[in-house]
Chain A
């Protein structure tokens, strides 16, 4: 029992080391234009950092994004979470990620019950065609996720 737990811990540590090394390599490569990008694993790691060991469920989030973004420098994004927004039951936060940007984090949006509606819009940068992931944290501890793909004609991270 103990033994198996230890081996699991080790493999998790190794996995983290791999992710960390990947991050360092990516940081080192930023000098080469467009060589640096996060990937799905980095997004998963970032999500895990924020919400801990909870497993996100699908649903309750509406992500509004253009299917094709001509200019990756300013891509409109609107996110709405289906929630009654009362003191007892509300959406605490929505985290946005982009899996092929140099840095996967985009924004964390924190709501309070006073908001009345868990909806917000902003504009983001996308380096290339990729998935945008939204993760919503509810007040009861449940976590929801949604994903949308955006095709980007001109990337928006310099280079």
Chain B
């Protein structure tokens, strides 16, 4: 399968105390385990991203557990308060154990 490609949209700068919207997207088929192979009739095994975590300077701010009912190329948007400059780290964990990560810098003025 093609490698999952994460994308995030985080403002580069923010005022202290400002509530920011963060948007994330990752390319992934999110195979639900419900579909059948049309030729053989066998079930296609489940392979989804089951956990998404966003941490800021090493501290978890937001996380989500996903089930097969999340669409392919899962999108997630949420909010966070700008307290200090630092790095956001986004982590997606696959059923097969692979972990996809992406980081983004934020400067607080």
Chain A residues at the B interface, C-beta cutoff of 8 Å: 30-31, 33, 36, 73-75, 98, 101-103, 105-112, 114-117, 119-126, 156-159
Contacts and interface: CB of A to CB of B under 8 A. Distances in A.
B79 A116 contact: yes
Nearest to B43: A30
Contacts of B67: 103, 105-107
Interface stretch (B1-9, B29-37, B90-98, B100-108): B29-37
B61 A115 contact: yes
A98 B78 CA distance: 21
B91 to A, nearest CB: 14
Interface residues of B, number: 30
Given A103-B69, A105-B69, A157-B32, A122 B74 contact: yes
B62 A115 contact: yes
A73 B32 CA distance: 11
7 closest A-B pairs by beta carbon, nearest first, are A158-B35, A116-B81, A116-B19, A117-B79, A105-B67, A123-B71, A108-B65
